[in-house]
Amino acid sequence: MDVIEMTQAKVCFIGAGNMTRSIISGLVKHGYPSALIHATNPSQGKLDALQQDFSIEVSNDNAAAAQAADVIVLSVKPQLMEAVCNALSHLNLADKLIITIAAGIPAARYQEYFKQPITLIRTMPNTPTQIGYGMTGIYAEDNISAEHKAICETLMQSGGNVVWVDSEEGLNQVIALSGSSPAYFFLFIESMIASGVKMGMPEDKARLLAEQAALGAAQMVIQNQQLSLEQLRTNVMSKGGTTAKAVETFQQGDLGGLVDKAMNNCVARAQEMAKMF
Ligand SMILES: NC(=O)C1=CN([C@@H]2O[C@H](COP(=O)(O)OP(=O)(O)OC[C@H]3O[C@@H](n4cnc5c(N)ncnc54)[C@H](O)[C@@H]3O)[C@@H](O)[C@H]2O)C=CC1
Ligand SMILES: O=C(O)[C@@H]1CCC=N1
């Protein structure tokens, strides 16, 4: 369903960084009215760029923007969240839906930060939201209404796909699987390009070859749900051929173990952050 049919809420983003830009881009592309979107930031540069690109309202006054909004999206770094929320705690937030995209901070903390009961939904998006290929995990506590859940889902869906999880630990797993994981793939492609260049391939061609292979592989996975990943992989591997040699090298280096370790460290960091806040 189109975003406009679902909601006409005034949405205010507190913090106009990478993720806010990604989400706003998705919203505007889906026809969400620019006039209903507001972003705040202390520095003017990012605000000017957002205003120019998306014709949204911008300011550096968090309180005025939050006061005027129906939905407040908290998009600052976790370390700044407490101070940013404290500075809004004099407002009456009873009728607002507050959505946070911050990693690590447990839902219960926000009530303390705002010093009043609030309606809060935790989400974990990722940067591909900017181009409509985002993935967002959403967690809401039992007291959140179906209407508020629908508004949040609609907003986040404008940038791609969403999954609901039923615990905050589930959200930590979302961080490892999709919130942080675009960076894993970027690193992999970056490493492939570097290797291609070392072999003598011009960088632009190495990038084109690697990125198109990544795109094709992702689409193969998506469009062949009936096939296992192992099957897709073995379809590329001729017996005694080149792919088998490369895959064998990854397996000897325990790629699976390394990925497992990286993802567990990602979750562990989210758990560690939850104790810090
Ligand atoms: N970058 C990513 O891939 C993802 C980030 N997140 C979460 O999103 C949040 C934001 O991350 P990014 O967008 O990457 O960070 P960012 O640093 O690009 O953006 C944060 C913005 O907040 C602004 N800011 C600082 N103090 C402020 C204040 N008092 N009032 C208003 N704005 C203020 C900063 O100037 C900056 O533009 C973090 O909590 C992070 O955990 C979640 C999922 C993915
Ligand atoms: O690295 C981080 O902490 C944030 C959360 C997921 C992606 N970026």
pLDDT in tens, 8-40: 899 999 999 999 999 999 999 888 999 999 999
Report all structural domains of the chain as residue ranges with CATH numbers, in order of start. Answer: 3-167 (3.40.50.720), 181-274 (1.10.3730.10)
| Per-residue exposure over 131-158, b if at least 16 CB sit within 10 Å of its own CB, e if not | eeebbbbbbbeeebeeebeebbbbbbbb
Cβ(178)–Cβ(137) below 8 Å: yes
Is the predicted ipTM greater than 0.95, yes or no?
yes
Pocket of ligand 2 (CB under 6 A): 103, 175, 179-180
Among 175, 184, 187, 272, residue to substitute to test ligand 2 (most atoms within 8 Å of Cβ): 175
Residue nearest to atom 3 of ligand 2 (CA): 103
| Nearest-ligand number for the alpha carbon of 269 | 2
Asked if the model's pLDDT at residue 1 lies above 80, the reply is: no
H helix or E strand, kind and range, residue 104: none
Residue 6's pLDDT band, with cuts at 50, 70 and 90, is low
Token pair for 114 = 């705002």
Task: Return the pLDDT at 47.
Answer: 96
Mean pLDDT to the nearest integer, 99-113: 95
Mean pLDDT to the nearest integer, 134-139: 97
Query: What is the rounded average pLDDT for all residues in the chain?
Result: 95
